[in-house]
Structure 1
Amino acid sequence: MEETTCRVCDAPVLEFADLGDQPTANGFLLPEEVAGEFRFRLAVGACTRCRLVQLVTVVPQELRYHAGYRYHASGSASHRDHFAADARHFLEAELTGPDPFIVEIGCNDGVMLGTIAAAGVRHLGVEPSGNVADIAREKGVRVLSAFFDEDTAAAVRAEHGPADVVFGANTICHIAHMDSVFRGLDKLLTPGGVFVFEEPYLETIVSGMAFDQIYDEHVFYFSVASVQAMAERFGFELVDAERIAMHGGEVRYTIARPGARVPSERLAALLAEEESAKLNEPATLAEFGRNVARIRDDLMTLLRQLRADGKRVVGYGAPGKSSTVTNYCGIGTDLVPFVCDSTPAKQGRLLPGSHLPVRPPADFADPYPDYALLFAWNHAEEIMAKEQAFREAGGKWIRFVPDVEVI
């Protein structure tokens, strides 16, 4: 067990779950690239002072985000709808002054900023992965290819002026250098500006047993209490926290300069809920770690029994979190011969670590398997509605979050 200190407040971090030897979750490989695959120990712990949950070992950001990055945020209809709604909210509530300006950290393929650009509002995406940045540019989105930090923020301020909003979605928890991020925010935001970010919620992960949300890109696993402590440490104030449905349950945080806004009632309510549930307590997190091991054992028992019974199981969806599950559980092609995913950039490649082949959705029905292991469980409703014919053909879904079950 490694000893580490908190990346925000420097206090000791107490490890509570070890998910074993893992690759980078979006490092989809060609068969000839398998020999040189990067791996690291995936373990999480909680700070003994500010309670921020974080990875014990952080993979260098250059290995996680690059010109071959395979995640495209626009690939899901629910994502497109969600981020269009985010954009409309900013246009109506925050970007109402003369010549407003919004910056998005990690804009990916422009799924949110495309709506902002169409409205003619000044904007800038800061996106280090060149391939998805190019897709955003094709949508008319202005993108700076860079990692967001203090220096980047200063350069943006010098060229474009101060920002009314800095936004991040499923991005801020990926950034290890949070001190530099907040120094950058201090330089970039207007006095009344806000930093809004929405990320996987620790409570959802713990209560919903969503252990597959833990992988190399997610450096931090925020609770409302830990975000409040982080904001205060860097001279800001958490003024709002709102539950949202993305990825099975996230929270949207709003941070402002101290005294600039009145903290919301729902912020106080969520803080009280966390305290009542003892979310940030070591005993709660230790129990989560034990339950993760139980789910692994239950899933492997089911898959081995289905193989013994002569049943065919195919994976459905190849999100980053599928890498955590397959590698932690030890799922190989003997149990799941391939995975179907709608992202063209992943097709024809191998799932990281486990090396399950990724095939296009058409292969799912050629012929239908007996069972489909639902890796993209956060899109279950959308997927099951689309795959009615699979169910009608006698197919069954396997879920493993929050427990292993056959649907």
Structure 2
Amino acid sequence: MHITCRVCGGNVQEFVDLGRQTMANGFLRPEDIDSEHFFRLAVGMCESCTTVQLLEEVPQHLRYHNAYRYHASGSESHRKHFERNARRFMESEPTGPDPFIVEIGCNDGVMLATIAQAGVRHLGVEPSGNVAELARAKGVRVLNEFFDVKTAFAIRAEHGRADVIFGANTICHIADIESLFLGVEALLAPDGVFVFEEPYLGTIVGRTAFDQIYDEHVFYFTVRSVQAIADRFGLELVDVEQIPMHGGEIRYTLARPSRRTPTPAVNALLAEERTRRLAEPDTFERFGNDVKRVRGDLVALLREIRADGKRVVGYGAPGKCTTVTNYCEIGPDLVPFICDSTPSKQGHLVSGSHIPVRPPEAFSQDYPDFALLFAWNHADEIMAKEKSFRDAGGKWILYIPDVHIV
């Protein structure tokens, strides 16, 4: 099958297939099981621009809607991270007397709330109505729309150009990347910056973090591919910074050509990617084999624990758990339920695998023998909070970068 690159029109070569999947954040009521949308979760790399991307896209109106289950403020580490981002933007970026900051996909206002409290002019563009309302409740000004070139021109007409356009775990979600970048180019002030933080393909491959692959993540960026995308749409990649969010991301900073001097970090990471062969087929072939190995090891461990009469429950129900449970064919027979602190997920089922999601009290009221940690990127925060589980003899199961018990 010939797959055309969404960025440059080149040929996309498939390298991993995670099977029949459904929407990562499509947590279901039991009565809604028959309405699930399934698709083939496979990923490939463009042979021309090297952008890694999903082969099959789930329409964005099915992914983002008025019952979207992900709330960015749910983690203390997230809240602190985005508060730091907000203060950084306000202190270092705006140059005029009335700065304007736009966030693409502001979710529940976790970043813009700090900017709103400071009285800085801002706008969040958020397509999911329920989380947009949560942001408004924090004093954030929100446009309940998808960001594209049409939306960008409308924002510019009403508010003027933006000193900062920001996106966190959002830019890789937008399949129509041409409309996105044309919109950024239209809205960005002459000396403004477009800053976005996204899961890093180098981390996904290096840590066998296959659960970062799901319907919302249409693209999996490297410094090389972002530089190619920026060049294509009239922008310049001027800085990159590795950050610990979601187990390892990169913050990319783009500007208009010749407005800023690129930092040495750009060439340094490009050189590292060449050394790691992050655009070579053999790298992705090894990744695919590693993913299969992790699946086999995890399922074998869970079956062994069940055979020994021990109990396992899941901890944390991020979108990643949908990929893991469906690819590994883990159902309620191996993991009877998953505990999660997000109220909108509780009482629902993980899509596809149909594992029930329960509140944290279900974990602490009757500790299991093992907890399978799906929210592994928050391991330190979670394990510190759940010290009593360890004190009671409980053990954690992790599967990134390989299956192990701690």
Normalising by the smaller structure, the TM-score range is over 0.9
Using the size of structure 2 for normalisation, the TM-score is 0.99
Map residues 7-26 of structure 1 onto 2, 5 A cutoff.
7-26=6-25
- Matched residues in 2 for 1:109 and 1:365: separation? 28
Greater shift, 274-283 or 315-324, is seen at: 274-283
- Matched residues in 2 for 1:395 and 1:335: separation? 17
Aligned position for 2:258:
259
- Matched residues in 2 for 1:113 and 1:95: separation? 15
- Matched residues in 2 for 1:115 and 1:36: separation? 39
- Matched residues in 1 for 2:53 and 2:244: separation? 22
Aligned position for 1:129:
128
Cα distance per residue 1:229-257 (max 9 Å; x no partner): 01001111111111001000000000111
Cα distance per residue 1:143-195 (max 9 Å; x no partner): 00000000000000000011011000000000001101111111101111110
State the secondary structure of the residue aligned to 1:318: coil
Map residues 194-233 of structure 1 onto 2, 5 A cutoff.
194-233=193-232
Aligned position for 2:384:
385
State the secondary structure of the residue aligned to 1:15: strand
Map residues 50-61 of structure 1 onto 2, 5 A cutoff.
50-61=49-60
State the secondary structure of the residue aligned to 2:69: coil
How many residue pairs get aligned? The number is 406
- Matched residues in 1 for 2:20 and 2:226: separation? 29
- Matched residues in 1 for 2:47 and 2:256: separation? 26
Q: Which amino acid aligns with 1:279?
A: L
Map residues 171-210 of structure 1 onto 2, 5 A cutoff.
171-210=170-209
Q: CA offset at residue 33 of structure 1?
A: 0.2
Q: Which amino acid aligns with 2:141?
A: R
Structure 2 residue 340 is the aligned partner of structure 1 residue 341: yes
Cα distance per residue 1:56-80 (max 9 Å; x no partner): 0010000000000000000000000
Aligned position for 1:89:
88
- Matched residues in 1 for 2:14 and 2:151: separation? 33
Q: Which amino acid aligns with 2:213?
A: I
Map residues 73-152 of structure 1 onto 2, 5 A cutoff.
73-152=72-151
Q: CA offset at residue 3 of structure 1?
A: 2.6
Percentage of matched positions with identical amino acids: 69
- Matched residues in 1 for 2:21 and 2:297: separation? 20
- Matched residues in 2 for 1:391 and 1:186: separation? 51
Q: CA offset at residue 398 of structure 1?
A: 0.3
Q: CA offset at residue 277 of structure 1?
A: 0.9
State the secondary structure of the residue aligned to 2:17: strand
Map residues 390-401 of structure 1 onto 2, 5 A cutoff.
390-401=389-400
Q: Which amino acid aligns with 2:204?
A: I
State the secondary structure of the residue aligned to 2:350: coil
Q: Which amino acid aligns with 1:217?
A: E
State the secondary structure of the residue aligned to 1:114: helix
- Matched residues in 2 for 1:186 and 1:386: separation? 44
Runs of 4+ off more than 6 Å: none
State the secondary structure of the residue aligned to 1:40: strand
Aligned position for 2:166:
167
Q: CA offset at residue 97 of structure 1?
A: 2.2
Aligned position for 1:67:
66
Q: Which amino acid aligns with 2:205?
A: V
Aligned position for 1:246:
245
- Matched residues in 1 for 2:279 and 2:88: separation? 31
The answer for unaligned runs of 5 or more in structure 2 is none
State the secondary structure of the residue aligned to 1:255: strand
Aligned position for 1:367:
366
Q: Which amino acid aligns with 2:249?
A: E
State the secondary structure of the residue aligned to 1:342: coil
Q: CA offset at residue 366 of structure 1?
A: 2.1
Using the size of structure 1 for normalisation, the TM-score is 0.99
- Matched residues in 2 for 1:27 and 1:98: separation? 43
State the secondary structure of the residue aligned to 1:239: strand
Q: CA RMSD in A?
A: 0.6
The answer for unaligned runs of 5 or more in structure 1 is none
State the secondary structure of the residue aligned to 1:153: helix
Structure 2 residue 55 is the aligned partner of structure 1 residue 46: no
Q: Which amino acid aligns with 1:123?
A: H
Aligned position for 2:295:
296
Aligned position for 2:357:
358
Cα distance per residue 1:259-280 (max 9 Å; x no partner): 1100001111111110111111
